[in-house]
Chains A and B, each alone.
Chain A
Amino acid sequence: MDIFLQQMVNGLTIGSLYALVALGYTMVYGVMRLINFAHGDLVAFSAFIGLSVYAQIFGESITSLVAVITVFVFTAAIVAFVGVLLERLAYRPLRTAPRLSAVVSALGAGLVIQNSVMLIWGPNMKIFPSNLFPSTIWEIGGIVITFTQVMILGVSSVLMVGLYFFIHQTKIGTAIRAVAIDQDAAKLMGINVNRIIMIIFIIGSALGAVAGLFIGTYYRGITFDMGWMYGLNAFVAAIMGGIGNIPGAMLGGLLLGLFNAMITGYISTQWAETFTFVLLIGILVLRPTGILGETVAEKV
């Protein structure tokens, strides 16, 4: 039983990382009907930014709560800026172009980010400082949980709940939902669509940055091409939960993490990915819009 619970903890940790990244995919899709394939690489990019911010400001020696918060805030701000820049340069000029052009542009932007990371930080694995979080480990009834895991679970839940209320309770949130439903009508209602899209990219990129930093602190080794793997998994999570749907992305991420952990733990590593995609296909066959997806009007 404790082994099962341990696998749950493992799965939920990685699942919340997937969920954070999936939110970036799903929000952009919800508003723009665009799969932002550069998002995964933005996540990898943020891990490297975090590494440099930390080395620049704190010289890899001092750690305190202030230091950690500074690293997270700085990194999120830089990555959010890059996200907005990405939208301006790669997506906005193509907003009226066929969807396929925008998707190709996104793939290209992803490669640009990935290769820039490689050229700036080098092709070798970089090691994240180990002292960002205390290395405390709790053992509760045979289940081991680390401080970093608690942070990942805690911070992601707060961010996700916060985002949910932001979208549903605030004026900007209402505007975002309006743009998601109908851009032209929203414009006629006096909503600045460009500004809403910018906000979407700021939020999505910042959440991705938090995920990237957690990946760095949790796994320590970061490589320029790791964004692809996290991006793909998060993309699957977003589709599973119903792309365009925010609670769906959270649910999809957590489910995917749990599912992966259980398959790896009880069946085999070799089959984990195969089963993941079988599950995805299964869900899409039964519910083409994903678990929580609404029946959206045909757009393509």
Chain B
Amino acid sequence: MKKMLPKIAASLAVCSILAGASVAADVIKIGVQAPITGSYASEGQSIDNGVKLIVEQYNAKGGILGKKIEVVTCDDQGAAQQAAICAKKLVNEGVKAVIGSYTSGATEAAQTTYHRAGVLQTSDGTSDSLIAHKYWTFFRNSFPNSAEAEYTAKYFVDGKQYKKIVILSDYSSYSTDLADATVKALKAKNANIIYEGKIKSGSQNFTATLTKIKSMDPDVIYFSGYYTDGGLLRAQQIQLGIKADFVGGDSNDNPDYMKLAGDSAKGTLLINVPTPDILPYDIAKTFLVDYKAKFNMAPASIWSLMNVDGLRAILHVMEQSKSDDTKVIAEGLHALKDFPGITGPVTFREDGERIGGGYMTYEVQADKSYKIVYQ
């Protein structure tokens, strides 16, 4: 507790300084709640930078609703306790909307406070629990596991028309969830799943499971686990001469996957949201150029851009509805359909879930580069 006191005092001091600086009523305040320090600092700073860049661009055009936009940033350190303090602070500041946080945990800790105060919140957290409350103030700007599963099912059934599908996962909750969601989505499309199996993460030797799979002669092997096992699975699949396609879920999209699989990596299909540099949209390209020009580096990851899309959607609705009333904006956001985002079209469901998914399938080339094969 002794250690906490200086921190609280410091944040209170920051509060009062910021409060003093912004007495003018002709500004619209946007909050950023992000881990500016701590393990996720690079992600948090990237979110803050992205928001500031968009706001700067708006202000250069004369602001919004005739008012300048002001950004208020609060560092939640990726921790729930700090997030709760940030939430109170930002609400007291009178922000209309909060962008962030990066982690689901910090987002969830602040959610109720924003809801009570009627402050909009948009976050990239993928945890299912974030939309469990169905708060009208909350909008997820990333996609949950179920979205990836639906994309995968669509790709398998409509795109590739696989007839015999094998689903593999490990025992982690992420991998199991993704595999279960994928199986559910595939069954809804009447796909033929011939085998659902589990591998033990880290056990290195998957030949027994793969040999069993070989006897079933599948069209595709889908793996929902992590790259450390995925790379070995792929290498051993090629070794055993199993002709099926190998499709990896988002956690296989890692440089180490390529190293582990070696030459066998070629031809692997990876499903993930795009990395910032291969986003096909013009707004994305412009944004990345502007970001690089201002901060002299690339955004930390796609997640910063997801958050920026949350902000862009909110500002867009504000302009359209000519209102800064959060109730009106929330209605506008729910009514939004395919708003052109940096990370793909933005549409929100009634419970704040982002619909669709900017998921893409990449085929790994011989030189380990990616080629987009399905969107």
Query: Which A residues are closer than 8 A to B by beta carbons?
Result: 3, 6-7, 10-11, 13-14, 125, 127, 130, 135, 137, 139, 144, 146, 215, 219-221, 223, 226, 229, 260-262, 264-266, 268-270, 272
Task: Write the B187-207 contact mask toward A (1 if CB under 8 angstroms, else 0).
Answer: 000000000011110111101
B221-262 contacts to A, CB under 8 A, are 228, 231-232, 235, 239-241, 256, 259-260, 262
**What are 6 pairs between A and B in contact, CB < 8 Å?**
A13-B207, A14-B205, A130-B262, A221-B204, A260-B208, A268-B198
A7-B208 in contact (CB<8A): yes
A219 touches B232 (CB 8 A): yes
Q: Give Cα distance in the complex from A135 to B204, angstroms.
A: 18
Is B129 close to A, CB under 8 A? no
In the complex, per-residue mask of B275-301: 1 if CB is within 8 Å of any chain A CB, else 0 = 000000000000000000000000000
CB–CB B208/A144 < 8 A: no
Contact B199 A130 (CB under 8 A): no
Q: A125-B256, A270-B198 are in contact. Are A221 and B215 (CB under 8 A)?
A: no
**Minimum C-beta distance from B221 to chain A (A):** 15
Residue on A nearest B235 in the bound complex, by CB: A220
**Cβ contacts under 8 Å, A264 to chain B:** 208-209, 212
In the complex, the answer to whether A3 meets B228 with C-beta atoms within 8 Å is no
Which of A127, A220, A229 is B203 in contact with, Cβ under 8 Å?
A229
* Of the residues B197, B240, B259, contact of A6 by C-beta under 8 Å: B240
Contact A137 B241 (CB under 8 A): yes
Complex partner residue of B204 from A137, A215, A268, A272, CB under 8 angstroms: A215
In the complex, the chain B residue whose C-beta lies closest to that of A257 is B205
> Given that A221-B231, A221-B232, A269-B197 are known contacts, is A146 also in contact with B239, CB under 8 Å in the complex?
yes
B203 (CB) vs chain A CBs: closest residue: A229
Known: A269-B197, A269-B200. A144 touches B256 (CB 8 A): no
Q: Across the A-B interface, give the 9 residue pairs with the lowest CB-CB distance, nearest first.
A: A264-B208, A10-B207, A130-B262, A127-B259, A219-B204, A261-B208, A3-B215, A265-B208, A6-B211
Q: Which residues of A contact B235 (CB under 8 A)?
A: 220
Minimum distance in angstroms from A256 CB to a CB of chain B = 12
Question: Could you tell me if B256 and A223 are in contact, using CB atoms closer than 8 angstroms?
Answer: no
User: Which of the residues B204, B212, B239 comes within 8 Å of A265, measured between beta carbons?
Assistant: B212
Q: Closest B residue to A135 by CB, please name it.
A: B263
Q: How far is the CA of A269 from the CA of B262 in the complex (A)?
A: 25
Alpha-carbon distance between A7 and B208 when the two chains are bound, in angstroms: 6
Contact partners of B209 in chain A: CB under 8 A: 264-265, 269
